[in-house]
A and B are shown apart, each in its own frame.
Chain A
């Protein structure tokens, strides 16, 4: 079976040569990278002496960014797989409330409350995906319905059981629990103590905690964000399942024809998004010690904005988890940075809108260069 077609050394005269520098620059995350540099430059210039870049300040915006990152990773993979989940915000409120009801109202151990909430969230995520696949309806509509249903239950249950919409006292319940610290704890506390003792970071100057560092460790929330970003990135770019995610969102029918299990991929991504929402909710509940019926409001849009700033295509098939993480970082830094810079907080939305628009324009331009869309 000798193929006579010889390799043609001549390049196609109509394909322009691209320098390797330009090629390495043109990637989906480029918009996110540019945005991150721009945002940090801006705040280094205008808020460098406001405390934004000391240990407390960094911890402040890192925590907020990490919150956005956790839900952005889920939203990103789902969007690349070609679907939306608008129920993320309600899911956060719902999961937090379930943990509170199970542990405080019903008095179950906190670890059991957390695990059951995760199972519930994954089941609801799977149901979202299942309905989308079976009915062929846009996920936008299906998850919009879930948004209202979950939010309704999140307000109804605590009122029915406790006659209030905020359930507190979870911190006391979580005392000595083995699972709670994985979401609400802090790590590297010894290292931060050492930094404080050596006067590398700020310490309390008086009061009962005199001598303790102001920032006493890295919250598990940030660790979850980093782990989820790495997991999402490796899954998407380094596994065959990642290729199926791209294929499912790029063209579901074409993917099906070559044997990609598109339905399974989509349902799993809905479940992963729900998982991320539940991680967010658990961290928040453990940090505050309470669950409120209005938690997670508008988070679905914040997640989608972070993902889009990060270079993902709204219609699926294209995007990057690293980009989404940078989008979340931009989001968090801008939100907290404006506060540090002493800017009127209502201007945050103006800022956000401008960044979103610029990022999307840049991303569209980059994507056209990569994919040859016209």
Chain B
């Protein structure tokens, strides 16, 4: 879409290291994400995917390495800083609070206020109207803005969370395994949402260990293994089988792979 910004990465992670005591969770991971691309981050359990994106979203501070956002070096103290900069994260099971209404969830932490006699109150009218509009655009039918999130399906919850992040001006959207707990149709809905978001020139970082889901929406693929990157590949330069192999352990497993007959 935007040719100028398409050449400049919106976020660059350079040689990120993260140590927890004596455990080295990340041993120098570098990654660049461009606006309007969907960058898939793949890796098996314990590969360091979660630690890496938590560093990106301000939950963890890197032990070593640089985070450049729009060319400037950033030091996030907490998630709030990252959100203010425009990096929003949608977590798999922590996206929404089921007991609260959709509108209250949508504006959680960003509640609109209006002043009445000098005191600022929660502006439920604006919140409800905007929520209904956004949900309609995302194709979710609500009985009303006060419907509890607990009544929505897992896919709808992810969609609400994504819509929320986009509404509040996310430039980088990090999705932490958004499809891992979903059924087939719900997964399709979430992937369609990711596609919509990408077309709005937002950079999407999509974490998954499902190669098929990654291939469905990804523009580039980075595989993490034991705290290191095994490289980044463009769409079309790599087959799902190769990706799967890399995830399963890279070089170490090549020998084993042969004896298993490529079934891993």
A residues neighboring B (CB under 8 Å): 1, 3, 5, 7-8, 10-12, 15, 18, 23, 237-240, 242-244, 246-247, 250-251, 253-260, 313, 317-318, 370-373
Decide if B100 touches A8 in the complex (CB within 8 Å). no
Q: Pick from A3, A246, A255, A313: contact of B196, CB below 8 A.
A: A3
Asked whether A313 and B109 contact (CB < 8 A) given A371-B148, A372-B150, the answer is no
B89 close to A257 (CB less than 8 A):
yes
Q: B126 near A: Cβ within 8 Å?
A: no
Contacts of A3 in B (CB 8 A): 137, 196
- Please provide the chain B residues from 136 to 150 with a CB less than 8 Å away from any CB of chain A in the complex: 136-139, 141, 143-144, 148, 150
CB of B136 within 8 A of CB of A7, answer yes
- Which of the listed residues B96, B109, B121, B139 has the most CB atoms from chain A within 10 Å of its own CB? B109
Contacts of A8 in B (CB 8 A): 136, 139, 141
A7, closest chain B residue (CB): B136
Judge whether A317 and B99 touch: CB under 8 Å. Answer: yes
CA distance A244 to B136 in the complex (A): 26
Chain A min CB distance to B139 (Å): 6
Within 8 A of A (CB), among B71-128: 79-80, 83, 89, 91, 94-100, 104, 107-111, 113, 120-122, 124
When the two chains form their complex, are residues B108 and A247 in contact, meaning their CB atoms are under 8 A apart? Answer: yes
B151 within 8 A of A: yes
A-B pairs, top 3 by smallest CB distance, nearest first, are A372-B151, A240-B111, A250-B97
Does B141 lie within 8 Å of A373, measured CB to CB? Answer: no
Question: What are 13 A-B contacts defined by CB distance under 8 Å?
Answer: A1-B200, A5-B137, A8-B141, A23-B144, A247-B97, A250-B100, A255-B108, A258-B83, A258-B109, A258-B110, A313-B99, A371-B150, A372-B152
Chain A residues lying within 8 Å of B96, measured Cβ to Cβ, are: 254
Asked if A251 and B97 make an inter-chain contact with CB atoms under 8 angstroms apart, the answer reads yes
Q: What is the CA–CA distance of A313 and B58 in the complex, to the nearest angstrom?
A: 32
Instruction: Give the nearest-CB partner of A370 in chain B.
Output: B148
Q: Are B137's CB and A239's CB within 8 A?
A: no
Q: Known interface pairs A259-B83, A372-B151, A373-B150. Does A254 touch B95 (Cβ–Cβ under 8 Å)?
A: yes
> Which residues does chain A contribute within 8 Å of B113, judged by CB atoms?
239-240
**How many A-B pairs with Cβ below 8 Å?**
98
Cβ contact within 8 Å between A372 and B111: no
Q: A238-B121, A239-B122, A242-B122 are in contact. Are A257 and B94 (CB under 8 A)?
A: yes
Contact status A243-B150, CB under 8 Å? no
B109 touches A246 (CB 8 A): no
Q: Which residue of B is nearest A12, CB measured? A: B141
Give chain B interface residues in 60-77, CB to chain A under 8 Å. Answer: none
- Residues of chain B within 8 A of A258, CB atoms compared: 79, 83, 108-110
B139 interface neighbour in A5, A239, A254, Cβ under 8 Å: A5
Residues of B within 8 A of A238 (CB): 121-122, 124
Q: Output the least CB separation between A363 and chain B (Å).
A: 13
Q: A18-B143, A237-B122, A259-B83 are in contact. List 7 more A-B contacts (CB 8 A).
A: A12-B141, A246-B100, A247-B104, A247-B108, A254-B91, A256-B79, A372-B98
CB of B197 to closest CB in A, whole Å: 11
B122, A243: Cβ atoms closer than 8 Å: yes
Assess whether B100 is in contact with A317, with CB atoms less than 8 Å apart: yes
Whether the pair B94, A247 counts as a contact (CB closer than 8 A) is: no
Asked if A259 and B109 sit within 8 Å, CB to CB, the answer is: yes
Q: Choose among B108, B121, B141, B143 the residue that contacts A260 (Cβ–Cβ < 8 A).
A: B108
Chain B residues near A318 (CB-CB < 8 A): 99
Cα-based distance from A191 to B59 in the complex (angstroms): 60
Closest to B82 in A: A259
Q: Which residue of B lies closest to A15 (CB)?
A: B143
How long is the Cα–Cα vector from A313 to B138 in the complex, in angstroms? Answer: 32
**Given contacts A255-B108, A260-B108, A5 and B138 within 8 Å (CB-CB):** yes
